[in-house]
């Protein structure tokens, strides 16, 4: 007689405590990174970030979070993950964030990584522009 393993709920780590905000599987590529830097939050280096990747099925994944530096320590909070979203839905979200937060051109940056054909090229670009902490790349 075979023993059956009961369904056990595995404890998931809270997104804020996951060093890897986005995991890239084979065939996936980063898409665009969006940075919202309100003037009022600049002394604390506050940013609202949205990171996106293109999945192999043509859909996108999105991770958004607040980022700030407190006593020289980078911190992230309010991590939200959307595992599957269409390009038009993603575009709508970005437009809504810009509108609802009254973000001016000097407070918004879009980093387009879709021009690179491989994840390695994308990571090299991010390293050259000091946009990635290499300790989080596996």
- Cα–chain center distance at 35: 10
By percentage, how much of the chain surpasses pLDDT 70?
Answer: 81
How many Cβ atoms from other residues are within 10 Å of residue 98's Cβ? 16
Predicted TM-score of the model (pTM): 0.79
Beta strands 108-112; 73-85: pairing state = unpaired
Mean pLDDT on 2-9:
49
Work out the average pLDDT over 19-27.
Answer: 82
Rounded to the nearest integer, the mean pLDDT of the chain is 83
- pLDDT at residue 55, as a whole number: 96
Q: Which helix or strand (DSSP H or E) is residue 112 part of?
A: strand 108-112
- According to the model, what pLDDT value does residue 110 have? 94
Q: How many CB atoms lie within 10 A of CB 127?
A: 13
pLDDT digit string, tens, across residues 26-72? 999 999 999 998 887 777 778 999 999 999 999 999 999 998 888 88
Q: Count Cβ atoms within 10 A of the Cβ of residue 134 and give its class: 0-12 exposed, 13-18 middle, 19 or more buried.
A: exposed
Q: Give the whole-angstrom CA distance, residue 84 versus residue 73.
A: 31
């Amino acid at each position: 007689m075979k023993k059956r393993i009961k369904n056990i709920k595995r404890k998931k780590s809270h997104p804020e405590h996951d060093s890897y905000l986005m995991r890239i599987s084979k065939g996936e590529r980063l898409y665009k990174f969006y940075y919202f830097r309100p003037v009022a939050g600049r002394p604390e280096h506050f940013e609202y970030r949205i990171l996106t990747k293109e999945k192999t099925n043509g859909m996108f994944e999105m991770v958004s979070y607040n980022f700030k530096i407190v006593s020289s320590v980078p911190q992230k909070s309010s991590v939200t993950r959307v595992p599957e979203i269409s390009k038009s839905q993603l575009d709508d979200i970005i437009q809504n964030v810009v509108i609802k937060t009254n973000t001016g051109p000097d407070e918004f940056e879009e980093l387009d990584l879709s021009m690179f054909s491989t994840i390695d090229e994308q990571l090299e670009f991010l390293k050259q522009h000091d946009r990635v902490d290499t300790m989080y790349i596996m």
